[in-house]
Structure 1
Amino acid sequence: MAQSLAPNVAPEFVYKLISPAAAFNPADRVLPLSALDKADGFYHLSTIAQVPATANRYFPKSKFSDLLVLKLRFAGIEPQVKWEAPKGEHTTDPIRIFPHVYGDLLQEHVVGAILLDWDEQQAQWDFSAGWEDRLQR
């Protein structure tokens, strides 16, 4: 039997990164799929620990003018989540195992959002202390 890659303790929240921010419409029932989501057949999500690295690796300022982080309550989507390593990786390192949602990801699970600032000096998205606390609905 295959080893489960799910964490021993489920997170309270997971996060969806969206760019451009205008792709997110609070009135929509279902969250938008990115081009990568469409190609892979699932929504790519991150845990709180994964968000900064995911943002700076996959959403470079040279290609993305803004970046919206959505906070989702995990309990509501847990049945749709598969914990998986990135394509081609065979790892059990928790920081490399990501929550992926198969099927529609409903807006009702969003409990907060933040539009990130770009830190010119650091040349990366601004995840200064307390960014998680600024996630509001």
Structure 2
Amino acid sequence: MTEQTVYKILTAPEYESLMRENVFAGSALDLADGFIHMSTAAQVTTTVDLYFKGQSGLMLAAIDRKSLGDALRWEPSRAGQLFPHLYGSLSPKAIMRIDPVTRNPDGTVRIMGD
């Protein structure tokens, strides 16, 4: 894949844990599946709408794909799309930016820097 940046949506408690522990092992779903679910910029809005509907305090972490090395794998998921999956913990060193999840006027999730 050519995506340079991948994204992880964090709930408020997950974000607080990342800041406190200086590492993120994954959400309950991530831990159950054995990898940290991530999205591309094009996939973020649908991921938020499907899995985080009605939740407030969400944070969007922009992650440098290259810093994840071979632990990042592209695997088919929703409707056969390839999604980035991290097999390992997420270090804050890989995170380029963390912003609150906000929406553009058209309803899509705003990706900072776009």
Global fold match (TM > 0.5): yes
The runs of at least 4 aligned residues of structure 1 exceeding 6 Å deviation read none
Between Structure 1 and Structure 2, which shows a larger proportion of helix residues? 2
What CA RMSD, in Å, does the superposition of the two structures yield over aligned residues?
2.3
Post-superposition CA distance 1:44-89 (Å, at most 9, x none) = 000011001111111110xx233111000111003111111128x6
| CA apart distance, 1:23 | 2.1
Across the two proteins, how many residue pairs are aligned to each other?
A: 110
| Aligned: 1:11 with 2:3 | yes
- The letter of the residue matching 1:112 is R
Structure 1 gap segments, 5+ residues each: 1-6, 118-125
Question: For the residues of structure 1 that align with 2:112 and 2:88, how far apart are their CA atoms?
Answer: 29
Structure number with greater Rg is: 1
| Aligned: 1:26 with 2:19 | yes
| CA apart distance, 1:97 | 1.0
Structure 2 gap segments, 5+ residues each: none
Percent identical pairs in the alignment equals 29
Structure 2 length as normaliser, TM-score?
Answer: 0.82
